[in-house]
């Protein structure tokens, strides 16, 4: 397993998470959520936090959703000095690895507080030692079962790999949906959550099924061959650990409420909280069973009466929460709230609800829009298939053109092409273009960018190509100024059409190189150079934030697979 040092954004996210948990431990109202939101915002932005801060300072930070004066000051202090005074004080008062312990499923702030107060547990290792001494079961409100469950969780955590890449989880999820759909009694089945939102990485697989006999579905679900162990099993909600190392949650509901459940479990959490707050302000309440008109008389008694609480637990019982207004489709729920329906990919709890209200949601490119592929590798360098095989596979996927963009000579260890072999490859492509009907192969390259910004192929060689992509494969650690200058110099070459995987990040393995993206996009516009959205799962480069910025700057984008095999 690769170990990567924490980035500044990750450190900040962790700090705010610990502040949040600390307030939770002390039963402080509302602050936990405020800090939690900042923790998540910062994590989602990644190194963009620093870019925002560099450009706009504290004022710029305060523009970020959920970030106010106090948290903006804290971020500013951290980025200026490398630490936050208030956080250091917290650590002195409570020297516990809150974040580390929180990674254990079932351990939250209150438990962390108890474990420290009664057993002096500060770290995950401390917890392992204490577990061996079997003292945990004697804590108030703990018992043998909680102790055993905790031991099991710790073992499972060591075996788990955390979040996984979308492109690699999706096929497994599709297979499970197929198998669940075949179970007798299942009306509809689909995946929701981060998978449906098509996030770069997913932490678990959220599944929804509709049926009149939920218990039967649960019994069948836990017996699927993909299941390694059962974490939670109830009538309508079950969680399992899959053999591929991540969890899958299944919710079974009546078919009539499919839309509400789909909406609820697509999330993300922030989007849903914003939506439920909006619902409240309009006199509704929203849950996974539908949108309900709140009855004024029932609100006051709700919190206290056990009977009302039980009614709430069977929300379909008429009169539990109010009168049902919408539940069949997502669209009718959003419409009742005065909103257009945002595509799942946009439901991130940012500005999409505002845009939905103003009918200004951006139109996403529909799946199936891509007509060609302008980055692929073949056996000429490090690909697994010949140009002809790749071309035929591309055609079979409905594409009408493809560029064979093999690496260049600097990457000698994977047989990068020099000018002579590039010319030979050109002849092969001429031959194939005569042979292939309704499909065009482009002569091209993924030309390496040297440390000084010069290119790996001569201008005379580049001039003969249909499509020139350039990319960085070495010297990832240059300073922001040097790296930006290097890339812009390369982009200024008049034969260059596109920058491939501009930030060079590998999700979970390598941080992006340091670039001033504003300057890069300005140069892209000036030299009419496109930027790539590389869809290799661990790259996804440019990423979401940069794509938005590039579009805003008027820069052309190209979506490629960077496929190394058919």
Partner DNA sequence: GCCGTTTTCGGCCCGACTGTTTTCAGTCG
Nearer to DNA, 247 or 562 (CB): 247
Site size toward DNA (CB under 7 A) is 70
Which helix H or strand E contains 241, and what residues bound it?
strand 237-242
Shortest distance, position 297 Cβ to DNA, whole Å: 16
Write down the least CB distance from residue 549 to DNA, Å. Answer: 21
Does the protein bind DNA through residue 245 (CB under 7 A)? no
- Long-range contacts, stretch 169-177, CB < 8 angstroms, 24+ apart: 169/195, 169/202, 169/205, 169/244, 169/246, 170/195, 172/205, 172/226, 172/242, 172/244, 173/205, 173/207, 175/226, 176/205, 176/207, 176/224, 176/226, 176/248, 177/207
- Compute the C-alpha angle 338/342/347, nearest 5°: 115
Is residue 545 close enough to count as binding DNA by CB under 7 A?
no
Interface pick for DNA out of 56, 57, 95, 143 (rule CB under 7 A)? 143
- Select 293 or 395, whichever has its Cβ closest to DNA: 293
Which residues inside 82-121 make contact with DNA, applying CB under 7 A? 102, 104-112
Q: Are 236 and 264 in contact (CB under 8 A)?
A: no
Q: Please tell me the distance from the alpha carbon of residue 227 to that of residue 245, in angstroms, as a whole number.
A: 10
Phi, psi of 73 (to 5 degrees): -60, -40
**Contact status: 159 vs DNA (CB under 7 A):** no
Contact with DNA (CB under 7 A) among 6, 280, 414, 463:
280
33 sits near DNA (criterion: CB under 7 A): yes
CA dist 65 and 350 (Å) reads 7
> In the complex, what is the shortest distance from the CB of residue 62 to DNA, in angstroms, rounded to a whole number?
7
21 or 499, CB closer to DNA?
A: 21
Give yes or no for residue 141 binding DNA (CB under 7 A).
Answer: yes
Distance CA(330)–CA(334), nearest Å, equals: 6
CB 72 within 8 A of CB 49: no
Taking the complex as a whole, how short is the minimal distance between the CB of residue 94 and DNA, in angstroms?
15
Asked if residue 62 binds DNA (CB under 7 A), the reply is yes
Whether the link from the prior residue into 367 is cis, omega within 30° of 0, is no
Exactly one of 65, 185, 426, 537 binds DNA (CB under 7 A); which one?
Answer: 65
> Which residue from 10, 11, 146, 160 is in contact with DNA, where contact means CB under 7 A?
146
Using CB under 7 A, pick the residue from 277, 345, 430, 459 that binds DNA. Answer: 277
Q: Does 423 bind DNA (CB under 7 A)?
A: no
Do residues 218 and 233 touch, judged by C-beta distance below 8 A?
Answer: yes
**Is the distance from CB of 104 to CB of 150 less than 8 angstroms?**
yes
1-9, 139-147, 447-455, 531-539 -> range binding DNA (CB under 7 A): 139-147
Dihedral pair phi/psi, residue 548, rounded to 5°: -60, -45
Binding site for DNA (CB under 7 A): 24, 29-31, 33-35, 37-38, 62, 65-72, 102, 104-112, 137, 140-147, 149, 193, 204, 206, 232-237, 247, 249, 265, 269, 272-273, 276-277, 279-281, 285-289, 306, 309, 312-315, 321
């Amino acid at each position: 397993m690769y170990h990567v040092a924490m980035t500044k954004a990750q450190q900040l996210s962790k700090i705010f998470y610990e502040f949040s948990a600390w307030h939770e431990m002390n039963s402080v109202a509302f602050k936990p959520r405020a800090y939690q939101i900042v923790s998540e915002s910062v994590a989602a932005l990644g190194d963009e936090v620093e870019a925002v801060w560099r450009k706009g300072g504290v004022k710029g930070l305060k523009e970020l959703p959920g970030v106010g004066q106090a948290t903006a000051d804290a971020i500013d202090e951290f980025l200026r000095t490398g630490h936050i005074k208030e956080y250091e004080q917290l650590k002195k008062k409570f020297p516990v690895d809150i974040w580390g312990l929180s990674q254990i499923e079932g351990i939250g702030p209150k438990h962390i507080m108890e474990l420290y107060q009664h057993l002096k547990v500060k770290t995950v290792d401390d917890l392992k030692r204490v577990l061996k001494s079997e003292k945990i079961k004697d804590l108030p409100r703990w018992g043998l079962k909680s102790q055993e469950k905790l031991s099991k969780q710790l073992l499972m955590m060591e075996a788990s790999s955390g979040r996984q890449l979308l492109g690699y989880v999706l096929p497994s999820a599709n297979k499970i949906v197929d198998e669940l759909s075949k179970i007798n009694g299942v009306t509809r089945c689909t995946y929701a959550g981060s998978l449906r939102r098509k996030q770069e990485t997913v932490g678990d697989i959220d599944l929804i099924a509709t049926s009149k006999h939920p218990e039967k579905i649960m019994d069948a679900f836990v017996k699927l061959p993909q299941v390694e162990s059962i974490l939670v099993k109830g009538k309508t909600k079950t969680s399992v650990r899959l053999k591929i190392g991540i969890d899958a949650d299944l919710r079974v509901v009546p078919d009539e409420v499919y839309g509400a459940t789909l909406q609820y479990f697509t999330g993300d959490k922030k989007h849903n909280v914003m939506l439920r707050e909006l619902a409240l302000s309009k006199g509704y309440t929203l849950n996974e069973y539908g949108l309900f008109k709140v009855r004024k008389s029932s609100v006051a008694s709700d919190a206290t009466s056990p009977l009302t609480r039980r009614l709430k637990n069977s929300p379909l019982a008429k009169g539990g929460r109010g009168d049902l207004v919408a539940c069949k489709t997502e669209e009718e729920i959003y419409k009742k709230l005065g909103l257009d329906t945002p595509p799942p990919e946009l439901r991130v709890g940012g500005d999409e609800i505002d845009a939905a209200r103003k009918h200004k949601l951006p139109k996403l490119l529909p799946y199936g829009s891509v007509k060609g592929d302008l980055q692929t590798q073949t056996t000429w360098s490090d690909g697994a298939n010949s140009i002809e095989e790749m071309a035929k596979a591309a055609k079979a996927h409905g594409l009408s053109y493809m560029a064979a963009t093999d690496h260049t000579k600097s990457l000698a260890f994977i047989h990068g092409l020099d000018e002579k072999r590039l010319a030979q490859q050109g002849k092969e492509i001429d031959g194939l273009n005569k042979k292939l009907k309704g499909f065009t192969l482009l002569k091209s390259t993924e030309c390496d960018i040297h440390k000084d910004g010069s290119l790996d192929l001569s201008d005379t060689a580049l001039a003969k190509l249909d499509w020139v992509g350039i990319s960085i494969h070495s010297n990832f650690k240059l300073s922001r100024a040097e790296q930006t200058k290097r890339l812009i110099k390369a982009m200024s070459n008049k034969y260059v059409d596109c920058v491939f995987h501009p930030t060079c990040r590998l999700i979970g393995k390598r941080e992006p190189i340091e670039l001033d993206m504003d300057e890069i996009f300005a140069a892209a516009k000036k030299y009419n150079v496109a930027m790539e959205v590389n869809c290799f799962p661990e790259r996804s480069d440019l990423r979401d934030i940069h794509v938005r910025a590039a579009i805003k700057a008027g820069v052309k984008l190209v979506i490629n697979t960077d496929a190394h095999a058919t």
